[in-house]
Structure 1
Amino acid sequence: MIDPSFFESSIFPILLLIVVAVIVFKIYKGVMDWRRNNKQPILTVNSKVISLRTKKTRSVHNLRDNNPVPTDYYATFVIDPSKNVEFQITGKEFNQLAEGDVGKLTFQGTRYHSFERL
């Protein structure tokens, strides 16, 4: 028979290993995305803003302490009749864009650079 204290003493190292593995994977994925983007050419194309959205990240800590809820901002552009691309943008850029704006979109892979209205 297995002693129940075996599971109690083994669970912490297992959970710690899982947390460390997730962190290492996230860092690895971020570095690979960064490298992939750096290998792409910087493109400037005619485009139109077709959608703007926000994503709020809520946590127990934010709700408990009345801290502001962090917000991510996204813009979707159509760059030719059959291709839409979405980029995460800053709040400042989000507030300056409107759906239907037409202009020059500059990006590199999945990395947004700028949008200049025509």
Structure 2
Amino acid sequence: MFFSSDIMFTIVPVIISIGFVVVFGLILVNIIQGIRTWNYNNSQPVLTVPSLIVAKRDHVTTHHHNHGNGIHHNHRSTSYYITFEVESGDRMEFSVNGKEYGMLAEGDLGKLTFQGTRYLGFERLREPERG
């Protein structure tokens, strides 16, 4: 053999340690990015602007789990997004909850309230009654 058996006891712990450092580093970066976004949103003014809903989309994520002994578990989660167009022509997409997503339709006109990248609400304007 090219390597003595002692080298495995030296290399493997180093590789495992590097793996833990990388995973911990990725988790730490994710936490820091979340805090920065939260701080950014909190520092922005709350704005209410006239807007039009131009698009809606959802994204379904499925997770498959195998618990052994032939037991399988599937978990699905759905994220909902709505794209608004403001008077300047700019478009903004926000993540919304399922109830809000279901109550709003493409073409709805109203007042969008947001803070930075945080969606706060949409008040739909009533159409005048025809008669």
Structure 1 moving runs of 4+ over 4 Å: none
Provide the C-alpha distance between the structure 2 equivalents of 1:83 and 1:31, rounded to a whole number of angstroms: 26
State the SS of the aligned residue for 2:62.
Answer: coil
The equivalent residue for 1:66 is 74
Cα pair distance change 1:20/1:65, threshold 3 Å: same
- 1:77 pairs with one of 81, 84, 87: 84
- 1:50 partnered with 2:54: yes
Decide which of 30, 38, 44 is 1:40's aligned counterpart.
Answer: 44
TM-score, normalization by structure 2: 0.81
Whichever of the two has the greater Rg, that structure is 2
Whichever structure has more strand as a proportion of its residues is 2
Q: What one-letter code is carried by the residue in structure 2 that aligns with 1:117? A: R
- Alignment RMSD (CA, Å): 1.8
User: Which sections of structure 2, spanning at least 5 residues, go unmatched?
Assistant: 67-71, 126-131
> Aligned to 2:36, what secondary structure does the other structure show?
helix
- Equivalent of 1:86, from 93, 111, 128? 93
Q: Does 1:109 align with 2:113?
A: no
Residue type at the aligned position of 1:11? I
Q: 1:20 aligns to what? A: 24
Structure richer in helix, relative to its length: 1
Unpaired segments of 5 or more residues in structure 1? none
